[in-house]
Amino acid sequence: MRGVVGAVALTIVSAVPTFGIERLQISVQCSNVVLSWPSQAGEKYIVQYRPDLTSTSAWTTLITEMLAATGTNVTRYVHSNMVQLANCGGGSYGAMSAGGSATDFLTLAKARPVAPAGPLARPANGSGGAVPLKIYPPGFDVSDLLISDPLTGEWMSGAGYSIRPTPRPPALEAVQLAAPAPPGGGGGGSFTSNSGAETGFYRVVRQGARLLGVTNGMVLSGVVAIFVEAGNASGELASLSITEAGSPVSDLSTRTAPFGPVTVDTTQMTNGAHQISAAASWCLPGGEGQGGVNPYIEAVSPPVTVIVQNEISFTDWMPMFGQEYDSLLITAQSAHANTEWYIDIYDSSTNYIGSFEGTTTDGMIGAVWDLRGPQGEYHDDNWFRFVVGTPYGSAVSPKSWKNWDRWTARGDWVVGNQLAWEGVIGGENFDTMTDGFVVIGQTFDLTVRPPGIDPGTAFRIHYALLSDPRPDQDWQQFRQALYYPSSRNLFYSGHGGNGGIGRNPANTNRYISQAELVSALHNVPSGQTNRHGFRFVFLDGCQTANGHLAQAFGIIEKKEVSFGYLEAAGIRPASFVGWNKSPAAAFANNYGIVAHWEFIQNFQFLWGTGRGLRQALDEAKDGPLHFNVDVDPRELTVFGFRNLGVNQYNGQFSGM
C-alpha cells in the first residue's frame, strides 16, 4: 500500500479574487457623488445605484453603454445632488475605495461624507495609511492605532483608549470643497441629477463578458477557480462559462450570479497553450410572438492565451463505468514520454484497493479494471478515484462514477418542433423536416411521443403571444413525453440556447432549462441510482452545443468518443448533437432558409440507410436528396459516440 491519500485533496489554484471594477473610487464633492475607475479605450460600462441593500430596494440603472473616457486611463461618473444639506464653502473632501462584496459578488461602495477636521488615526504596525479618527464607531478600541494631535501633528499611542460616544447630528455633515468640480469633468465623465436624494450604494461593471485576473502567458495547473465578470443592463443572465474554440472547458454550473469563480480542471486539458474566453448569455424580457426578435444577447470576451502545465493529465478521462457490465477504463498522460508509472485504486470510502504498474514510451498511461481486488469484488461502489504517478510526480484523478441506468425496455422517441417560423414563406418545410424523425422511430416499431395531429407527423409546439394558452399546454405535453421512463431518443427543432430549449428562460411554462433537465432526469450529479440517460439527442436550436446540455441528458461531454473507450468502460454508446453557432432559419422574417431543412433531410436519409452519425452529418452537405447544401457540418458538435447508428444500442441490452 502506497502512502498517498486518506482524504483526497485537490490543488486549487485561484486567480486574483477581484469582483467588478478594480480600484473603483467614490468621493463626495459638494452635493455630488463622483465615481472614478481605471479604464481602457473602447470599453463600455453600466453604472447602477440603490439607496440601501434591503429586500425592497432594487438596483436602478443610471447609464448603460457608457464609453470609457478618451485621452486618459480613468473614467468618471458624477451622480449629482445626492448629498443633502451640502456646504460647499471650502475645505477638502474624503474619498473611499470600493472593495468587493463576497455576498453577491458585486462591487459595492457606500458613499459617506467625512468631515476633514479632527485627529487622524493609523495602524501602529504601519500596515495602513492615516484616516480621520471619527470614522471609527463609538466604543471602538483604538489600542492598535496611533492617534495624531490635530494641533501639533504629533502621533501618540491609542493604548488603553476607546472612542467616546457623541451626540449624532440631525443630518450627515456636508463635505467641503474649495471649488466643486464641474459635472462630468476630468476625464470624460457623465452627469445625472437626482435632486433631494441621499447617498447610497453603487456598482460599476463592464458591459459584456470578461476574464478577471487572467493574463496572457499565465501558467495554470490543477483545478483552477477563474473569476468571470458578466455585465448587461437588459435581461436575465442565463449562462456563464469558460470556453475554448466555442466549447466549454468549465464544469457544469447552474449559477447565474454575474460575478464569481468558474471552475476549470486543467488536468483534463492537454499541456501547452490554450486560448480561453468568458462566455455569457442573457435572456431578453418578454414572451413569445414578439416579431421573431432574437431572445438572447450573447457575449464572448477577447481570448486570453494561458499555458496549461501538469505532470499528469487526464485529457481522455472516462467519467462513467459499469452500465452494461463490470469494467472501468483508466487513462492518463505523463508529461515525460519514457517513464515508469503506477495507478493506485481507492474506493468511495477512500480505502486503498490495489495498484497497476507499467512503463510508457509515449507518455500514455492506461488500464482496464474489472472491479476485482485482493480483498474481493467491488460491484456496488458508487465511484472510484485513482492516484496516477511517475518518478516525476503524481496527481489525483477525477472520480469515475458507476452508471446505474440499465434499461428495462427499448428506447422510444420524443419528436417535436416549435412553430416559430410558421409565418415565413417555406416555413412548412421545417414541419416536414421534423416529421422525418417520426418516420425513423416508427420504422423500428418504437413509440413516438407526443403524438402528432396526423399519422407520421411530429408534435407541433405553438408559438404565440402570452395571451394564447396553446403554447403552455404544448410545452407541458412535450416535457411529459421527455421524462417518460422509456424515452431515450430526442429530436427538437426550434428556439434554444446553451442553457435550454425554448424562447424565453424567464417563462418556465414555455421553456425547458438545463436546471430542469438536471432535476428531472437525475444525470447530474453523477452516481444517482434513478438516472435517466438518453441514447440520442439532436437539439436543432441556437448554440445548443455550447453549454452542458449533453451532461444534463446523461451523455458524456467529450467530443466524438470512439467505441473502444466506451466498451472498455462498460458504457452503452450514446450521442448528443447540437449547434456550436446560431444557425439561420429564416431571412428577414419572410423566407425560410432552404439550406437548413435540406441539410437535415439529407442527414435523415444517410443516417437511416446505414451511415454512422458523424459520417452522415459530414456527407449531408453534398446530398443525396438535395445537393450542394450551404451548411458547414462542422458547426454541429457531436458529444459521446461519434458514429452511432440509427437504431444501434437501442435495445434493453445493447449487446456490446
Tell the CATH topology of 312-402. Answer: Immunoglobulin-like (2.60.40)
- pLDDT value of residue 432: 95
pTM summary value: 0.74
- pLDDT value of residue 212: 85
- pLDDT value of residue 15: 29
475: confidence class by pLDDT, cuts 50, 70, 90:
very high
The identity of residue 74, as a single letter, is: V
- Give ranges for CATH 2.60.40.4070 in the chain: 312-402
CA distance 64 to 337: 53
Matching residue, cell 407527423: 457
CA distance 32 to 345: 65
Q: For the range 630-634, what are the long-range contacts, defined as Cβ-Cβ under 8 Å and sequence gap of 24 or more? A: 630/595, 631/583, 631/595, 631/596, 631/599, 633/599
**pLDDT digits 0-9 by tens, 122-180:** 888 877 777 777 767 766 777 888 887 665 667 878 777 766 654 443 433 333 333 33
Which residues, other chains included, contact 465 with Cβ-Cβ below 8 Å and sequence gap of 6+? 287, 288, 289
Q: Sign of the CA dihedral 627, 628, 631, 635? A: positive
Which residues, other chains included, contact 134 with Cβ-Cβ below 8 Å and sequence gap of 6+? 114, 115, 118
394, 387 Cβ separation under 8 angstroms? yes
Tell the CATH topology of 412-640. Answer: Rossmann fold (3.40.50)
For 252-287, the DSSP string reads: P-----SEEEEEEEGGGS-SEEEEEEEEEEEEPSS-
CA distance 205 to 230: 8
205: confidence class by pLDDT, cuts 50, 70, 90:
confident
- pLDDT value of residue 376: 93
CA distance 35 to 107: 12
Q: Which of 351, 496, 362 lies closest to 418, judged by CA? A: 496
Looking at mean pLDDT, say which of 78-87, 163-172, 363-372 comes out highest.
363-372
Alpha carbon distances (Å) from 36 to 76, 77, 80, 203, 308: 4, 6, 14, 11, 36
Residue 368: helix, strand or coil by DSSP?
A: strand
Instruction: Write down how long the chain is.
Output: 656
The identity of residue 436, as a single letter, is: G
pLDDT at 115 over 50: no
Tell the CATH topology of 213-308. Answer: Immunoglobulin-like (2.60.40)
Bridge partner residues of 461 (DSSP): 418
pLDDT at 436 over 60: yes
Does residue 387 or residue 29 have the better pLDDT? 387
**pLDDT digits 0-9 by tens, 494-519:** 998 888 999 888 789 999 999 999 99
Which residues, other chains included, contact 351 with Cβ-Cβ below 8 Å and sequence gap of 6+? none
Q: 386: which 3 cell numbers?
A: 485513482
Which residues, other chains included, contact 516 with Cβ-Cβ below 8 Å and sequence gap of 6+? 479, 500, 508
CB-facing half-sphere around the CA of 230: CA atoms within 13 A: 29
Which percentage of the chain shows pLDDT scores above 70?
79
- pLDDT value of residue 642: 97
Q: Which value, in Å, is the radius of gyration of the alpha carbons in the chain? A: 30
Among the ranges given (11-25, 96-110, 412-426), the one the predictor scored with the smallest mean pLDDT: 96-110
Does residue 156 or residue 454 have the better pLDDT? 454
Provide the 10 A C-beta neighbour count for residue 374. Answer: 6
pLDDT at 99 over 60: no
Buried-exposed string 232-259: b where 16+ CB fall within 10 A, e elsewhere: bbebebbbbbbbbeebbbbebbbebebb
**pLDDT digits 0-9 by tens, 304-360:** 999 999 999 999 999 999 999 999 999 999 999 999 999 999 999 999 999 999 999
- Give ranges for CATH 3.40.50 in the chain: 412-640
Q: 312: which 3 cell numbers?
A: 499528469
Q: What is the mean pLDDT of the chain?
A: 82
- pLDDT value of residue 203: 84
- pLDDT value of residue 122: 84
- pLDDT value of residue 290: 46
pLDDT at 607 over 80: yes
